[in-house]
Amino acid sequence: MLTNLSIRNYALIDDVNVSFSDGFTTITGETGAGKSILLGGLSLVLGKRADLSSLKNKGQKCIIEAEFGVSKYKLNDFFEKNDLDYEDSTILRREILPSGKSRAFVNDSPVTLDILKQLGNQLIDVHSQHQTLQLTENDFQLKVVDALAGNQGNLEKYSEHLNLFKTASNQLQELLDFQSSSTKEHDYNSFLLQELEAASLMEGMQEELEVEYGQLSNVENILELLSQGHQVLNDEQMGLMGRFANLKQIFQNLSEYGQEYEALNQRVQSVLVEMDDVSGELENIKDGVEADPERLHVVNGKLQQLYDLQKKHQVASVVELIDIRNELSQKVDTVANIDTKIKEKESEVAKIRNQVENWASKITSARKSVIPKLKKMLQDSLYGLGMPSATFNIEVSPSENFKSNGNDDFSFLFSANKGSDYGELKKVASGGELSRIMLTIKSILAAYEQLPTMMFDEIDTGVSGEISNRMGEIMQQMGSTMQVFSITHLPQVASKGKQQFKVFKEESAEGTTTRMKKLNPEERIGELAEMLGGKALSESALAHARQLLQ
């Protein structure tokens, strides 16, 4: 509920600060007193766009604050989603700067205008005559039916499965699109994959082949060097092995003359053993090296194959070629298995569709069962609002497509007079009739769901007498379970308020200012008497005013 409203430097308002209670509140004042200004200020703090014309004093900023009690509205998720601090008593603030820029805040946290508007829509519903157009929209009409039918749980389950159905259907379409466009690409990818698989790619193979190719292509040079090495080691005249044999004998003899020489002898023995091992291995290698033109041709062919593949795929290593091979294999397998995947997805879509249809059927059944009750409630209420012949023809029928709120086409037709054809509300109902129908519907909704604070702006325009009295009673009844405001010119409506505020103008040397005050019981009698009989208060008008309040 709206607990406090503060407006500073807006239009004709210098500074207005008023507190409100629950129940039904009426706001009165002469034409031009500034009731529309009050609503304009409220709409700014609810997210309406503003400009410099909003400022009373163009050199100062305009500040509008509205404090709401929000504990009953289950808004914790909204605050968490938008990274806002939740408070049971939440303050919405709007500032319009002299530069023309504006800022918005929720509990002192800066927010975008869109977030402010989203939150405002959940806190207060400002209803004026032009907003009765909402009544002519199927979505709103279905909302009324669903509230009476208790369809909230069914709608949540339906929406959950509808989202799953849409996701699965999109995935199926992607598979079908992929299948239709992938035939040529599949053939080309298969050819590329075969080339790469034929190369028997393994990590490190290129390095090994390049080493082997280097050896095979330089056999003669290698044999010559091996022979030279063997000769250096084993030549009878100058060979190292013969000389090392002499060195071995010398140090063996020296070793008899002390530990120092024995250590040198051991080192010489070790070197001689190593040299002997090198000589033997050199002999073995030399005997195993021979020219192999056939193997050279094979190795050269494998290397050339790798170089060609790297050039074709614009990479520089076998590892990258292996990655490409794996990726192509996955693509080829995907296309090869696409028929199976499509069948599996089609089965999944069909299963989810059945679940969506099941919940849609429950929604439809609940709607059909409650339509007679809704028609009776509407017609009985409108009878007391001066529309004794008003009747409705409300029907639901299967829709060709799933909608966000079910699988129904909805017909909400109206006739105001006996013998008249039924037609759509926007075509056959007048503005005054739409206002009374909207009031009736809002009163019905108030009994079935938690509505935001309701602000009726002269919804009683064009009615008088007993009809206005009945409209006041309806809003008063709504006020027993929620907060309701009515801006009105009718004393019959104004008298029904739990509290009454008056909007008025004051003139001074500085200019004209709009003010607002809560009326005490005596002031209410005077205000109602003035609304009944004009400025010159007669005793009969005062008596009538007292009677209305009682």
Asked whether residue 2 falls in the same domain as residue 91, the answer is: yes
Mean pLDDT of the chain: 88
Asked whether residue 201 falls in the same domain as residue 121, the answer is: no
pLDDT score recorded for residue 75:
92
pLDDT score recorded for residue 17:
94
Listed residue (91, 18, 99, 92) closest to 54, CA to CA: 99
Q: What residues have CB less than 8 Å from 334, skipping those under 6 apart? A: 178, 341
Cα–Cα distance for residue pair 476/484, rounded to 1 Å: 8
The reply to whether 167 falls in a domain is: no
- Say what percent of the chain tops pLDDT 90: 46
pLDDT score recorded for residue 161:
97
Asked whether residue 190 falls in the same domain as residue 309, the answer is: yes
Confidence of residue 8 (pLDDT cuts 50, 70, 90): very high
Asked whether residue 204 falls in the same domain as residue 327, the answer is: yes
Q: Is the pLDDT of residue 112 over 90?
A: yes
Asked whether residue 118 falls in the same domain as residue 222, the answer is: no
User: Could you tell me the CA-to-CA distances from 329 to 186, 191, 324, 332, 340 in Å, in that order?
Assistant: 11, 11, 8, 5, 17
Domain count, the chain: 2
Query: Side chain identity at 275, as an amino acid letter?
Result: M
The domain in which residue 21 lies consists of 1-128+450-519
The reply to whether 278 falls in a domain is: yes
404-447 per-position pLDDT tens digit:
999 999 999 999 998 889 998 888 888 888 888 889 998 988 88
Asked whether residue 253 falls in the same domain as residue 124, the answer is: no
Cα–Cα distance for residue pair 68/397, rounded to 1 Å: 41
Cβ proximity of 396 and 367 under 8 Å: yes
Confidence of residue 212 (pLDDT cuts 50, 70, 90): confident
The reply to whether 256 falls in a domain is: yes
Q: Is the pLDDT of residue 116 over 80?
A: yes
Asked whether residue 110 falls in the same domain as residue 237, the answer is: no
pLDDT score recorded for residue 133:
64
> Which of 184-198, 236-250, 504-518 bottoms out in mean pLDDT, i.e. has the lowest?
236-250
- 348: number of CA atoms within 13 Å, CB side? 16
pLDDT score recorded for residue 131:
60
The whole-angstrom distance between residue 539's C-alpha and the CA centroid of its chain comes to: 63
Kind and range of the H or E element at 352?
helix 338-383
Q: Is the pLDDT of residue 192 over 70?
A: yes
Q: Long-range pairs for 402-405 at CB < 8 Å and ≥24 separation?
A: 402/162, 402/165, 402/356, 402/360, 404/159, 404/162, 405/139, 405/142, 405/143, 405/146, 405/155, 405/363
Asked whether residue 96 falls in the same domain as residue 217, the answer is: no
Confidence of residue 129 (pLDDT cuts 50, 70, 90): low
Local structure of residue 256 (DSSP, 8 states): G
Cα–Cα distance for residue pair 88/256, rounded to 1 Å: 105
71-111 per-position pLDDT tens digit:
988 899 999 999 999 999 999 999 999 888 899 999 999 99
Cα–Cα distance for residue pair 184/195, rounded to 1 Å: 17
Confidence of residue 377 (pLDDT cuts 50, 70, 90): very high
pLDDT score recorded for residue 517:
94
Residue 91 phi, psi (nearest 5): -115, 125
The reply to whether 29 falls in a domain is: yes
Local structure of residue 519 (DSSP, 8 states): P
**13: exposed, middle or buried (Cβ count in 10 Å: 0-12, 13-18, 19+):** buried
Listed residue (266, 262, 244, 246) closest to 254, CA to CA: 262
The reply to whether 237 falls in a domain is: yes
pLDDT score recorded for residue 224:
81
Cα–Cα distance for residue pair 373/381, rounded to 1 Å: 12
67-76 per-position pLDDT tens digit:
999 998 889 9
The reply to whether 437 falls in a domain is: no
133-178 per-position pLDDT tens digit:
677 788 888 989 999 999 999 999 999 999 999 999 999 999 888 8
Local structure of residue 257 (DSSP, 8 states): G
Cα–Cα distance for residue pair 410/363, rounded to 1 Å: 13
Asked whether residue 60 falls in the same domain as residue 199, the answer is: no
**Cα separation of the two ends of the chain:** 26
The reply to whether 354 falls in a domain is: no
Asked whether residue 76 falls in the same domain as residue 202, the answer is: no
pLDDT score recorded for residue 178:
81
* Domain closes at, from 285, 311, 336: 336
Confidence of residue 353 (pLDDT cuts 50, 70, 90): very high
Q: Which two tokens stand for residue 216?
A: 């095979």
- Tokens 């100058």 found at: 238
Confidence of residue 488 (pLDDT cuts 50, 70, 90): very high
Confidence of residue 500 (pLDDT cuts 50, 70, 90): very high
Kind and range of the H or E element at 17?
strand 13-19
274-327 per-position pLDDT tens digit:
888 888 888 787 776 777 788 888 888 898 998 899 999 999 898 999 999 998
Asked whether residue 87 falls in the same domain as residue 201, the answer is: no
- List the CATH number of the domain containing 466: 3.40.50.300
The reply to whether 386 falls in a domain is: no
* Domain closes at, from 303, 318, 336: 336
pLDDT score recorded for residue 527:
93
pLDDT score recorded for residue 260:
87
Asked whether residue 87 falls in the same domain as residue 193, the answer is: no
pLDDT score recorded for residue 139:
86
* Domain closes at, from 306, 336, 366: 336
pLDDT score recorded for residue 132:
63
Instruction: Please write down the HEC assignment for all residues of 120-136.
Output: HHHHEEEECHHHHHHHH
Q: Is the pLDDT of residue 333 over 90?
A: no
